[in-house]
Structure 1
């Protein structure tokens, strides 16, 4: 029992030393070192993070705005593409009618009427940016020509268009129908 009292007395003495600030060595060992945080540094880091977030958001918005403007422009530029693609068979039929009528020369008034309608269509197409692809005698280009036949030819250079079966068209430099052609070997 005397030993318990001694141990209890020693504990009270150590607690007293710690409370009075004596025995710094003991308190320093028990405490973990605290890092002083400067509030200005913390605020600067938060400001930098928010500024970075703002710059990224602003860049994303600018990219979005440019993308929307381009889409609007493309819609305006190519919005009539389907309409003209649907009108191409009508244009083909006018061209066929003119070829047949040229060969037979049966009715000059009919021929003039069809020619006037064809001319009106040509002007309408041109006014809206639709152009015929010039293919005859041109080098073969798979982007604008669709080769359906090929033949040996001494008169024409190799890989050039010899005959056009169906005219091709572009709208604002975009192919809406490739020309169907015969190509020389």
Structure 2
């Protein structure tokens, strides 16, 4: 319904509807902008959590791989410890004059080379005579009062102990002073 006028002061229905739609459109655009901003922030937060989860997953997998490697090395090394013991026994059973022979030197060299090679994979000897007794690393098979030696000191080693990456794979069998 249009009224006749010069058209400058009276708006038509179409103009009113258009003006209302523009107002609604700007409010909707503002609301949409806020909603989109919130959604972007939520997505960023979600992405950051996923990235942190992935980094933690990679660390966990790397640690598991390392543990598997250590476990595999442990089995091999525990099998080789008797070989090291036998080489030491062979050297200990030699008489003083035999220790100058090339055979003794060869056995000594092989034993040292074997220990050095296993050391590259984390094998370490546990402290020997003169060290303080530690039940985490030593197995006391005898206790004896020794003059001039403090209590709880290792005075003899019957079987050397070894650890692999801070884990004891065989404790030292020792005699401890009282």
TM interval, shorter chain, is: 0.5 to 0.7
**Aligned 1:63-142 pairs, distance under 5 A:** 63-76=56-69, 79-102=72-95, 111-142=104-135
Q: In the aligned structure 2, how far is the partner of 1:104 from the partner of 1:97?
A: 14
Per the TM alignment, residue 67 of structure 1 is displaced from its structure 2 partner at its CA by 2.3
Q: In the aligned structure 1, how far is the partner of 2:32 from the partner of 2:54?
A: 33
Alignment: residue pair count: 150
- Higher Rg: 1
Aligned partner of 2:170 among 165, 174, 177: 177
Q: Which residue of 2 aligns with 1:20?
A: none
Normalised TM-score (structure 1): 0.64
Seen in structure 2, the aligned counterparts of structure 1 residues 62 and 120 have a Cα distance that, compared at 3 Å, is closer
State the Cα deviation string for residues 52-86 of structure 1 (Å, max 9, x = none): 21111111011112222333445556642221111
Worse-matched range after superposition: 119-128 or 132-141:
119-128
**Unmatched 5+ stretches in structure 1:** 1-35
Q: In the aligned structure 2, how far is the partner of 1:73 from the partner of 1:110?
A: 39
Seen in structure 2, the aligned counterparts of structure 1 residues 110 and 38 have a Cα distance that, compared at 3 Å, is closer
**Aligned 1:19-98 pairs, distance under 5 A:** 38-76=31-69, 79-98=72-91
Q: In the aligned structure 1, how far is the partner of 2:112 from the partner of 2:37?
A: 72
Q: Which residue of 2 aligns with 1:149?
A: 142
SS of the aligned residue for 2:146 comes to: coil
Seen in structure 2, the aligned counterparts of structure 1 residues 120 and 52 have a Cα distance that, compared at 3 Å, is closer
Q: Which residue of 1 aligns with 2:13?
A: none
Normalised TM-score (structure 2): 0.67
Per the TM alignment, residue 87 of structure 1 is displaced from its structure 2 partner at its CA by 0.3
Q: Which residue of 1 aligns with 2:6?
A: none
Q: In the aligned structure 2, how far is the partner of 1:144 from the partner of 1:87?
A: 19
Q: In the aligned structure 1, how far is the partner of 2:112 from the partner of 2:165?
A: 20
**Unmatched 5+ stretches in structure 2:** 1-27
